[in-house]
Amino acid sequence: MKRLERMLDRDVLTVTGGTVGEVLGEATVADPDVVRSLDDPLSWRPSIIILRGTLAPEGAIVRVGGEGERMIRFSGPAIIYHSREEAIEGLRCGEIRPGQVVVLSGLGLRGSPGMAMTSALIFGLDGAGLLERVAVVTDGQMSGLVNRGLIVGEVSPEAAYGGPLGLVENGDVISIDVERRTVNLEVPQDVLSARRTGPDRVPAVPERGWLSIYERNVQPLPRGAVLLKRD
């Protein structure tokens, strides 16, 4: 707050009984290399960026970090997995190779159910020396510890809502351009339309049980991931 002081309303009361200005009047910055000034940021670019495109019409998140050179463009053939465990086994077996876009589909709010964490695969790719040589796209989420590689998460709409991520097949080309804020599936729309009408594209929701109630009523991530009461 001391670093942001010139942007704050210093006259607002705080829980201490004093104003923001009075509280910050006694504050100091212990280490200027850690809590930097507004004129000397770690990076001039944002560290979290929203991408949109034919693969994520309602948005996806990529975290590029604030320091050092990061891969911001990538294009390659997809290799599809439907769970974190399946992808980790694929990594062990040597299925994942440099130049590919690793797709983890069906890990979103409805599909998982609950948004699955994909970080174990990311750390595995790092340990295998592949994290800077592949990209990852998923409708799941990532840990805050994931700060390397080109990882596109929380793709929306998720596969279980009929999103384009669920239509991706092995070998489809996916292009990511962080600078242009895009993530696109390079497949003609007529082909995607034909795939959408194919069998078992969206998993059936169980008719009974608490998870079925959740899966039927949970709203997509851009709408707040809340449960909506249906009449």
- So which residues are the catalytic ones? 143
Nearest to 153 by CA among 185, 117, 194, 189: 117
Burial of 7 (0-12, 13-18, 19+ CB in 10 A): exposed
For strand 73-81 and strand 101-104, is the pairing parallel, antiparallel, or unpaired? parallel
Lookup result for tokens 């805050």: 144
